[in-house]
Structure 1
């Protein structure tokens, strides 16, 4: 009997994660969502083109996996849209324009895609800034996968970055079910190679990106979030000076992403409208 006919040997074979075999067996679906846009000064994104308004998407993703429904980042919080200054405070002072309607926010987008927010089992947070944590409180029964350093930093950031974290978005999530991943390790969510959290610090101390291996896509994807805003940042080693925890860590992360790109991974940049639109079309 061959190993593919013996169920016991097959289980062992999957444990060691031969990714091409795993991709053929696991059925996964990726749903990308644009939960509105911000208009900011482009110089804050690339430390170069100052004074130019720059509109960028606020991404979030849902992934249906046989072992659960996973969210990667949650976008902007709809609860503060009626009174932004009261809810978000200083966090929105440097945003030139917020283009978000209630229906743009993640719970409503999920429902239109046929996903009940109550079915979400895991929420992976790239980091805890305003445009990523907004709808965390919409998934109170999910397990939250967050880097240990990011969770501490989000609750008590230093003064110069305190405005990037919104206490109103976080305060009701304090006793959620958090899985605090050590800061430097890669974490395989379902132990099958399909979803792997990789450490990409720099923008924040506990930033992480997500490798996604889909069965019907020709290459692995990396959902970069804010590890690298745009292809321009990657190609020219330019960092956004407005929101930067540690430039040395950021440059190390850029080198890591360039390596992945060089061996055939496709990078999905978090805040670049052109590449976002291009990638979304590939998943329709």
Structure 2
């Protein structure tokens, strides 16, 4: 029986948005109040291979969508020792604007994507403004061009990308959304991305407002639990609590980067 490698896993916070509880749950919330939303990219650094997970959005898109842009997520990869010009593997959890922008700043990368997500992003549902709002057409066209260049690896279901790194489709928020499971020294860490935006979405079975299929979104919460050793091993995609529950790898990265292969703080 082979021993799986242990990866270091990081979350990098690159933007934020002021929002209310009623913005984050279908049906609103009777106890409305502030509930800000953070934007992250992630990285898994192994002994022989490393992965960037999602690529964020640009300063231009931040201005267009009125988000508070803190730093370029691709430049921020250098803070954890990843050279963007040399990064070869990028997992795209889906093609929403906040997860696939900046792809052109990774010139050596091949992208790992569920095929159903690209079909969705270029298919008939994009005629509806409510669904197309989450996409930037230039990002989607960029992925089509990357595919023509042979730089997109497509999957139809779960897959092992390398020992210790697996991907798992969990549609609902979008039609081809996937989460990532990474083997670490504390066991399997599940990077949920937008399968659950906040801890509370999953814990209370309260779906997020942007949804393609609510039933599949609810089933996605169950898939996260099944893939993780415990709820403490699940990392939501946009929750500011991630930055308080986990430690920065170095004091100067406080509020910017946290290390997820360490257990959460007591």
TM-score, with length taken from structure 1 = 0.77
1:98 aligns with 2:63: no
Q: Separation in 1 of the partners of 2:155 and 2:134?
A: 22
> Which blocks of at least 5 consecutive residues in structure 2 are unaligned?
249-257
Alignment match of 1:138 (pick from 93, 102, 105): 105
Alignment partner of 1:164 is 2:144? no
Shift of 1:116: 1.1
Q: Secondary structure at the match of 2:196?
A: coil
| SS of the residue 2:208 aligns to | coil
Q: Deviations over 1:154-194 (max 9, x none)?
A: 23424121111011333333221111110xx211111x2x1
Shift of the alpha carbon at 1:273?
Answer: 0.8
Separation in 1, partners of 2:220, 2:61: 33
Would you tell me which structure has more helix in proportion to its own residues? 1
**1:122 aligned to 2:89?**
yes
SS of equivalent residue, structure 1 residue 117: coil
Runs ≥4 residues deviating over 4 A: 261-265
For the pair shown, the structure with the greater C-alpha radius of gyration is 1
Q: Pick the aligned partner of 1:232 from 172, 178, 200.
A: 200
- Determine the C-alpha separation between the residues in 2 that align with 1:80 and 1:229: 20
Q: In angstroms, what is the RMSD of aligned CA positions?
A: 2.3
Residue 203 in structure 1 maps to residue 173 in structure 2:
yes
1:234 touches 1:258 (CA, 8 Å); kept in 2? no
Cα distance in 1 for residues equivalent to 2:181 and 2:233:
10
When the two structures are aligned, how many residues end up with a matched partner?
A: 242
Aligned to 2:252: none
| 1:115 counterpart SS class | coil
Alignment partner of 1:34: what SS?
Answer: strand
Q: TM-score, normalising length from structure 2?
A: 0.82
The corresponding residue for 1:37 is 16
1:124 CA drift (Å): 0.4
* 2:115 and 2:154 in contact (8 A); partners too: yes
